[in-house]
Structure 1
């Protein structure tokens, strides 16, 4: 066996040591973590597909339902509620987009059902097609709220966050003008009115997914009997008999000011035709939305 001579060892200069140290540092702290991370995400992406999404609508109780589903051991929910993978161009157009998407899920081996809740998906043009391209067998859950209440709740949320300088009266009357200035049918942030036109959004979803792969829930029913509506969701996902640990509060918070009569009448005129069409499409009674 050849053993390096002492002369060779002593011939290594300080500069050589520095070079070797740099190579080691580069490998151990930069290259190695990237390789390990890539392998982990690759393994994750190959092992599962997201197979259900709470896809709408904004300000309709999706957070409460997400939290309840997250308590169910058989379900793996995303670590953050609104991944927005199919909406955000920066996410969707990554070279490792699917692996990146799957990195939001810490799935256990016994969890066969994997889902998330991004309520903007139903509204944004193109998101449903992207979801179909990702998994044509996915199940979609949509909660629909009285569009008048939804619009006011949406504005109140943004107003509380100092994200909209306009009053509600100004905002709803400038809705179309503001959306025309936006791209990709606008960020849902300013779609107080358009986001509540449900019939078109549902029909667009059904162009890609058969109705048996979709579950439409009325927000009023969630308020009246939360447990029963969750039961419908569990049965739809194929895991009947589940019970959440506790019931979540849905829109329990009041608003600084009630919706005034003039704005309510404006919204009634705006939504009347769509609400009547929705009743026919879903065989629902929404007459109380028009009161």
Structure 2
């Protein structure tokens, strides 16, 4: 297998922890090439069904890459970049995918972003509400998770399971070694993206002084303002008109700004937050020991500031 046609860096999770924004920001660095398709989950695909069965799961299934040739083709345009990166947020969740990466790629750099699991679960829920796929109230949706997992709903519906990080991170560190893994706390990335990016650049061995545009936050969630979100996400006459004159990156930036303006935030109630926190408390404490980092602020029941990176 040609290592030059494989990534050297992986963003492995977790879902709804700012990985889309991180991917877009890294791709602005002149020494970093990020695969043009996110969430292909090549190394997890052997553990995934031929088709996921949840409402709207077809797009996730269709985006999966199961062929090595197709996977390597994503890096054909890397043109000698010092770092070739790939982002698939469920590599962390599917433990065998990490082992496949370790067997296939020589000494990869691995990045995981972790978020307060209560907020991560609610963000995943609101993502599906935003897309018109989730119709249950939040607590009912949490109760439905085991049945949905059994019915082959894709992992975005696994609201609590994905956020049980301790064993996932322990396995990640065991497979790659701590020196090859960078763990990022979402809340710090959200508050100080430039500082976090400097840490990532240092970890990847590229120029830390490069400044990238972090003004846009990608894949945000919320309740769609009636009709407007759908209009913003569909190809329309304005998009077609701008396409010949506006570079793709700027079209994406404009489209993302418009989409974000059509979403209304709906905070999680204190009572529900407290209930969900109790589900995660033991795992958060276990993660503290694995990570070697205090996460006492995750155990605080107050609602966080509004989500700005997803």
Coarse TM-score class (shorter-chain normalised)? 0.7 to 0.9
C-alpha separation in 2, matches of 1:82 and 1:242: 29
2:26 equivalent to 1:69 = yes
Please point out which of 40, 45, 52 is paired with 2:9.
52
Asked if 2 retains the 8 angstrom alpha-carbon contact of 1:72 and 1:242, the reply is no
C-alpha separation in 2, matches of 1:179 and 1:87: 16
C-alpha separation in 2, matches of 1:133 and 1:207: 14
What are the equivalent positions in structure 2 for 1:99-248 lying under 5 Å apart? Answer: 99-182=69-152, 187-248=154-215
Unpaired stretches in structure 2, ≥5 consecutive residues? 51-63, 223-263, 301-310
Q: Which residue of 2 aligns with 1:261?
A: 270
How far is the alpha carbon of 1:222 from its aligned partner? 0.7
How far is the alpha carbon of 1:289 from its aligned partner? 1.3
How far is the alpha carbon of 1:92 from its aligned partner? 6.1
Does the C-alpha gap of structure 1 residues 174 and 232 become closer, same or farther in structure 2, counting only changes over 3 Å?
Answer: same
Deviations 1:130-167 (Å, cap 9, x if unpaired)?
Answer: 21222141111000001000000000001111222222
C-alpha separation in 1, matches of 2:215 and 2:18: 9
C-alpha separation in 2, matches of 1:93 and 1:71: 28
Deviations 1:73-121 (Å, cap 9, x if unpaired)?
Answer: 1111101222221233476654xx2x22111124343313111111111
C-alpha separation in 1, matches of 2:272 and 2:155: 20
How far is the alpha carbon of 1:256 from its aligned partner? 4.5
Does the C-alpha gap of structure 1 residues 120 and 46 become closer, same or farther in structure 2, counting only changes over 3 Å?
Answer: closer
| TM-score between the two structures when normalised by the length of structure 2 | 0.72
Paired residue total: 242
Does the C-alpha gap of structure 1 residues 188 and 287 become closer, same or farther in structure 2, counting only changes over 3 Å?
Answer: same
C-alpha separation in 2, matches of 1:107 and 1:86: 21
Does the C-alpha gap of structure 1 residues 281 and 75 become closer, same or farther in structure 2, counting only changes over 3 Å?
Answer: same
Q: Which residue of 2 aligns with 1:276?
A: 285
C-alpha separation in 2, matches of 1:148 and 1:134: 34
Q: Which residue of 1 aligns with 2:58?
A: none
Instruction: List structure 1 segments (4+ residues) > 6 angstroms apart after TM superposition.
Output: none
Greater relative CO, 1 or 2 (CA 8 Å, sep 6+): 2
Residue 72 of structure 1: SS of its match in structure 2?
Answer: coil
Does the C-alpha gap of structure 1 residues 47 and 288 become closer, same or farther in structure 2, counting only changes over 3 Å?
Answer: closer
How far is the alpha carbon of 1:46 from its aligned partner? 6.2
Asked if 2 retains the 8 angstrom alpha-carbon contact of 1:53 and 1:141, the reply is yes
Residue 126 of structure 1: SS of its match in structure 2?
Answer: helix
Asked if 2 retains the 8 angstrom alpha-carbon contact of 1:57 and 1:144, the reply is yes
| TM-score between the two structures when normalised by the length of structure 1 | 0.76
C-alpha separation in 2, matches of 1:280 and 1:213: 19
C-alpha separation in 2, matches of 1:237 and 1:46: 17
